[in-house]
Structure 1
Amino acid sequence: MVKRLSGLKKGLSLVLAVSLAVTFVPPSSSKAWAAPELKLNVKSAILIDAASGQVLYENNADVALPPASMAKMMTEYILMEQIDSGKLDWDTMVHTSHYAANVGGSGGMLAENEQLSVKDMLYALSIYSSNDAAVALAEHMAGNEQSFVAMMNSKAKEIGLSDKTHFTSATGLTRDDIEDPALKDNPLEGDTLMTARDAATLGLRLIKDHPDILEFTKIPRKKLRESDQYPMENWNWMLEGKVNSEFQKQFAYQGMDGLKTGSTDAAGYCFTGTALRNGVRLVSVVMNAQSTKKNPNKQEREAARFIETRKLLDYGFNNFETKTVVTKDTAVDALPTVAVKKGLKKTVPVVTEGDVSMVLMKGAKDTEIKKVSVDTTNGKLTAPVKKGQEVGTMTVTYGKVTKTVKLVAAEDVKKAGAFRLFFRSVGSFFSRLGDTIKGWF
């Protein structure tokens, strides 16, 4: 008996120093909903909720394809960035070089040596997808198109686009697309390629970082110059005010206000679209959309990208809703308290620091939302503890989407005095000793 008590006394200091951390291992992630087969006639597509960044649908979204004029979203992004930073002014005059005036493709609005303001150039770029305006702006911002393309690729990395996306022109034109043989000799390697995911990411960043771009992209038609006989017509047939014919009328889509069309022989018909309904904004991308018509004419081939975009947007607006799945200052059942050392109280209650909102399938069950709470103090939380001090994390998972919210102390815990701590240690010692002795009999 004496030997056992001696051994117990030697180990008591170690026993009293141990604090148990509560850790819950997260379950394996599982898909919360099965995306339907939308039967899209495209090479790739993606649909994203703008507020959360959640992917609601994807198909071959990481395949690099020619984007055509959707690449101009990067030209727009850099231009808007320079406007917002004060490097450029809307009224600054931009010169049209021989190269810009002769680049070919969409546009053809600018004459060599003509000057227009930055704002008018952006109207031409965003409404009429003007290649000449894109090159003129690129040259104005960087000196020449090649230097501007280096800015485009640098910005792509900065905002998180994948290595599969690569720019070689300010317009999205490939070498084969450029009409003037004298302008084909681009020293940059490769050709312009984008994935649907990167196009959506770029479109989303453009909207969030520079929302004024929508004031340009939503314009159905506008004269570039007052003296022009005809206005520039927006290539986006889904704009509600874009009705040039009974054929185009069918594509008008409620809430549509952007973003960028694109088409070349290599790319086919592409479109990065965005629409806002009841406070929910979606961003969609379709690449190389194909008509289902037998022997379609040009108008029917062009319409394919809008038909496929409607399928995507309808799926998003009709089947998903944003819900708050975790509320701020809510107690956590799985981790109600965290141990505190040397405090007036031995534990502190835990609550969530903020709300967590997620885009859910309409009618989603609470059991489909997994919540995992972890004590991150590792048993080392020592008084004094301040209300709002981080003590853990909660991971919330729905399908492939995971969000994290901090868990914080719900109240202050003051440091206990030396006298209280001494008697607490003594009491703990004899309590543990008594429990051990009981175990021997």
Structure 2
Amino acid sequence: MNRHHQLSLPLIFPLKRFVAAAVLVSFLSLFGLSSFASAAAEELPAPPQLEAPSAILMDAGTGQVLYQLNADEARPPASMAKMMSEYLVSMAVKQGKLNWDDKVTIGENAAKQIGSRILLAQGDQHTIRDLYIALAVYSANDATVQLAEEVAGSEEEFAKLMNQTAVELGMTNSHFINSTGLDRADMPEKYQPTSIDGETTMSARDAAILGYRIVKDDPEFLETSKLQEHKFRERDKTPMKNWNWMLGTNKDNPTLRKFAYEGVDGLKTGHTSRAGQNFTGTALRNGTRLIAVVMGVGGKTEDGKRFLETAKLFDYGFKSFEKKTIVEAKASVPEYETLKVKKGKATSVPVVTATDLTVLVPKGAVVEPVVQEVKPVEDPLVAPIAQGDKVGTVTYKYKDPSTQEEKTITIDLIASEEVSKGSWWRLLLRAIGNFFSSLFQGIVDLF
């Protein structure tokens, strides 16, 4: 082989690969598959890199967890504990135990509070609503304590109610000793709890669960938590400023613009030297509401770092996930298209799902639910059955694509057709037919 051939031979193989690639691209373009090829190469979104020891991101519609970091670690929540106080005060109003317009007299415990407060003096009178706004917007410790005493008679009894409610809501890593989240040493000595040990702690997951319950059970709270400022007394020179700098409306505030995040309208900040910088936030965009929690963020309050870390979580949720319906409403369940019926014109009724099953999934991820159980309300069903009646439930099992945890969810099954009650003559003939059918089968089985 001459020198010319020795030099040119290695070039043949790259040339062949180039030609093959060109043909493949042309083929994909011809059939409209170029976008498929690029999508297939695209990786699932990477989780955020947070400068926080504990955090969680949750879908406020379903409670689905999209991201978690040491989410079950019990930590001092500081004023984030006031979310429970807000929840209990609102529930007391809904139950008729309190009225928003009730005027209450400020007691000694409230007047002696330190930290964030609106300088309530013992003997002052204010409405439940005014104190509640001071709690929600300015995180006022004095207003919070007075509301706690109005609900439960004393702050210590209120703390017991907080702990009881935490258990009921499924908050497994929370413990409350007061209504404010202040450390025991910062409480007036006379009013420190004697029947509750320890300090107040809460996990990021529990904070998200509490935020989820507030949004579900008390959505009106967001009308208060999104207030940028509020003047507590007419004579006050300056209004109370909301500690939540992430409020979307702060985009027009030159000082807070860099922290403002579109769609944020709650929920609660918290800070002490022991707790660090904490925040439970919620944001609504394009019909999807998320709840994000960061705990123990370092730095000073004025740095606003907790809000910057929360923004990373919201960005991850809104940009990297999409809603996907994995079970359609009014769809039949394979192998369970009908359920048995007795005393009806028909012996079975076709059934379909009452609602759809929609989850947030990372863009590009696939979720395949599997039927775990179908359970009729009674077996067999008894006619008459009207179209749309609930006749049972179906439980699906699927793997959460973001946490890889096995999940189950149950939705109702409804009748897609009516089954009227059979006449006595029809039922008699059916019974006779069934008798002879079983008799014949018994004879067959003998042989």
Q: What's the TM-score, normalizing by structure 1?
A: 0.79
Q: Distance in 1 between matches of 2:343 and 2:230?
A: 72
CA-CA distance at 1:396 after TM superposition? 4.5
Match of 1:402 in 2: 408
Q: Deviations over 1:1-45 (max 9, x none)?
A: xxxxxxxxxxxxxxxxxxxxxxxxxxxxxxxx9884421111211
Q: Give the one of 124, 137, 142 matched to 1:132.
A: 142
Q: Deviations over 1:29-75 (max 9, x none)?
A: xxxx9884421111211111111111111111111111000111111
Alignment of 1:197-276 (within 5 A): 197-242=205-250, 246=254, 248-276=256-284
Match of 1:331 in 2: 332
Q: Distance in 2 between matches of 1:79 and 1:378?
A: 38
CA-CA distance at 1:267 after TM superposition? 0.7
Match of 2:74 in 1: 64
Match of 2:356 in 1: 355
Q: Distance in 2 between matches of 1:350 and 1:143?
A: 52
- SS of structure 1 residue aligned to 2:359: strand
Q: Distance in 2 between matches of 1:307 and 1:126?
A: 21
What code does the residue aligned with 2:302 have? Q
Matched, 1:193 2:204: no
- SS of structure 2 residue aligned to 1:241: helix
Q: Deviations over 1:121-147 (max 9, x none)?
A: 112111111111111222233332112
Q: Distance in 1 between matches of 2:234 and 2:90?
A: 25
Q: Distance in 2 between matches of 1:408 and 1:243?
A: 47
Q: Deviations over 1:179-204 (max 9, x none)?
A: x5565575521111111111111112
Q: Distance in 2 between matches of 1:417 and 1:76?
A: 60
Q: Distance in 2 between matches of 1:343 and 1:245?
A: 68
Match of 2:369 in 1: 370
Is the contact made by 1:52 and 1:359 (CA closer than 8 Å) also made in structure 2? no
Is the contact made by 1:334 and 1:373 (CA closer than 8 Å) also made in structure 2? no
- SS of structure 1 residue aligned to 2:411: strand
CA-CA distance at 1:227 after TM superposition? 1.1
Q: Distance in 2 between matches of 1:379 and 1:123?
A: 49
Q: Deviations over 1:137-168 (max 9, x none)?
A: 22233332112212222222233322x21111
- Using the TM superposition, name which of 333-342 and 184-193 deviates more: 333-342
Q: Distance in 2 between matches of 1:121 and 1:427?
A: 76
Q: Distance in 2 between matches of 1:241 and 1:345?
A: 60
Q: Distance in 1 between matches of 2:253 and 2:352?
A: 58
What code does the residue aligned with 2:369 have? K
Q: Distance in 2 between matches of 1:342 and 1:243?
A: 66
What code does the residue aligned with 1:160 have? G
Match of 2:313 in 1: 312
- Using the TM superposition, name which of 415-424 and 372-381 deviates more: 372-381
Match of 2:182 in 1: 173
Alignment of 1:420-435 (within 5 A): 420-423=430-433, 426=436
Is the contact made by 1:45 and 1:287 (CA closer than 8 Å) also made in structure 2? yes
| Higher normalized contact order (CA 8 Å, seq sep 6+, divided by chain length) | 1
Q: Distance in 2 between matches of 1:378 and 1:273?
A: 40
- SS of structure 1 residue aligned to 2:212: helix
Q: Judging changes above 3 Å, is the alpha-carbon distance between structure 1 residues 424 and 286 closer, same or farther for their aligned structure 2 residues?
A: same
Matched, 1:286 2:286: no
Is the contact made by 2:45 and 2:362 (CA closer than 8 Å) also made in structure 1? no
Q: What's the TM-score, normalizing by structure 2?
A: 0.78
- SS of structure 1 residue aligned to 2:270: strand
Q: Judging changes above 3 Å, is the alpha-carbon distance between structure 1 residues 336 and 287 closer, same or farther for their aligned structure 2 residues?
A: same
Q: Deviations over 1:185-241 (max 9, x none)?
A: 755211111111111111121222122211211111122112111111111111133
Match of 1:3 in 2: none
Is the contact made by 1:348 and 1:413 (CA closer than 8 Å) also made in structure 2? no
Match of 1:143 in 2: 153
Q: Distance in 2 between matches of 1:146 and 1:152?
A: 10
Is the contact made by 1:234 and 1:242 (CA closer than 8 Å) also made in structure 2? no
Q: Distance in 2 between matches of 1:435 and 1:57?
A: 59
Is the contact made by 1:335 and 1:374 (CA closer than 8 Å) also made in structure 2? no
What code does the residue aligned with 1:273 have? G
Q: Identity over aligned residues, as a percent?
A: 42
Match of 1:44 in 2: 54
